[in-house]
Structures are given as structure tokens and as C-alpha cells.
A = this chain, B = another copy of it.
Amino acid sequence: MIRGVLLDLAGVIYEGDRALPGAIDAVARLHQAGLPLRFVTNTTRRTKRELLERLTRLGLDISADELFTPGQAARDWLKERDCMPVLVVHPNLEREFEDIPAREKHAVVVGDAGNAFDYAHLNRAFRELIGGAELIALAKNRTFKDDDGKLSLDAGAFVTALEYASGKTATVLGKPAHAFFAAALSSMHCPPEDAVMVGDDAEADVAGALRARLGHALLVRTGKYRPGDEDRFTPKPTATVSDLAAAADWILDCRS
């Protein structure tokens, strides 16, 4: 039985500034069937507030409680540990952390920084790490589908670079962290085995969800999907479908 749905955003709901064909309608059909939905993204180039505004513009009017971002998870993580962040993130995301006061304990926080991934930023972060700071990865994705339609380097490459040089292991806060999936599921009182995740990243979305003991995970052939992705990571997807519309059909078939 499926009692809750987790949806990735980029590459599943939208690409760039446009909704993917059939995606908004698929979300409406899931809603109409009475299925609770949560949106879990590893996107770290925008604040949570900007992501919500973008979804509203696309016709998805969801509340802040329905959207889970690694930036928010990092704010919570830093707060609980009285840590201040040393940021290697996109300039857009810096606002997410601007109200955190200076503190003695430091944590290097790495997101998809884009052009801010330069030697000076990375070397400053490396020196913080060998000086005692913890390493926090908002996400460890390898690639993302860029505005030109091609794959580009995602945060994971740079997290790995810092791990290699410092000898530290990053704590990943976004997908596939179990706690990230668990927070979204718990907000809709859905046990993991009754949930399904839909994503275009066979590693962080699909294998990650299944490792976090979700009952089902669907890989869509949109976004960053490339042929063969379904066989590249384990566990393999419950099913691979063409897009979110087909994923909604799969989910609704399961319930009927």
C-alpha cells in the first residue's frame, strides 16, 4: 500500500524555468487521490523561500512545511551544535545562513557553488578542515543537468576533493541521508515502507530512498537521466518510467 509520495524537483517537476510536460497535472492527480506529498530536493543554488516562489510561479502552490531542502537541514544541524558555517555555496544560498552568529566551532558547508568553486574558496575551506572544522555536504550528487542541457559537475565532486585532501569524511545532509528522507516522511506520518520516492537521480533519489527503507522508488527518464542509469547503482529502481506523469499512473495503479 502506498500512503505517501516524495517528489524530487529539478528534472522531475521542472527544468530551468519551465515545468516538465504533464508534471503539474500529475501532482494534481496524486493530490486528488488523497495522497500526501512532500517535495525533497538537493537543489542548493536557491534559498528555500526562492524555491517556493518558483513552484508557485509554475502553478504548484505548496507550503513551507511540504518542501525539504538541504539548506534548511544545515541550519538545523548548525543550531543544534552551536556551530558557525564556513560557506562554500552559491551566492544565492548565502542568505539562508546570514543570521547565524559567529561561534567558536566551525563547520565547512559545501553546496552546489557553481562558479564560486574556485581555488581560493576551496583552499580556505581545506585549511578550516585541517584546523578542526567539521565537513558538511548539503548534497554529494555527482552531476546535474545544466541550463545548456548538458551534464555539469555538481557539489559531490568538490566534497570528495575536500575529503581526499583533508582525510575527513563529510556528513551529507540532503538525499541520500536517511534523516532527510525520515524528516519528510515523519511530517506526513507515513512509515517508510508505505512511501514511494520519484526522482531522476538513480543514486541519491532512488538507491538512496531504498537504502533508507522506503518501500518503492521510481526512476524517471527526464532531467539528468542517462540510458543505463537504472543499472548503475544498487538497490535498483522499483520501476523506471518515462516521466512524472507515468510515475503518477504507476502509483495510482498500485492503489487501485
Query: Is A178 interfacial (CB 8 A cutoff)?
Result: no
Q: How far is the CA of A151 from the CA of B154 in the complex (A)?
A: 25
Q: Is the interface of A mostly helix, strand, loop or mixed?
A: helix
User: Which chain B residues lie closer than 8 Å to A164 at the CB level?
Assistant: 142, 156-157, 160
Closest chain-B Cβ to A148's Cβ sits at a distance in Å of 10
Closest partner residue, chain B, to A118 (CB atom): B118
* With contact pairs A142-B164, A160-B164 given, residues A153 and B117 touching in the complex (Cβ less than 8 Å): no
Q: How far is the CA of A115 from the CA of B126 in the complex (A)?
A: 15
User: Which chain B residues lie closer than 8 Å to A152 at the CB level?
Assistant: 123, 126-127
Give residues in A with beta carbon < 8 Å to B: 113-120, 122-123, 126-127, 130, 142-143, 150-154, 156-158, 160-162, 164-165, 167
CB–CB A157/B165 < 8 A: yes
Q: How far is the CA of A245 from the CA of B161 in the complex (A)?
A: 35
CB–CB B165/A154 < 8 A: yes
Closest chain-B Cβ to A125's Cβ sits at a distance in Å of 9
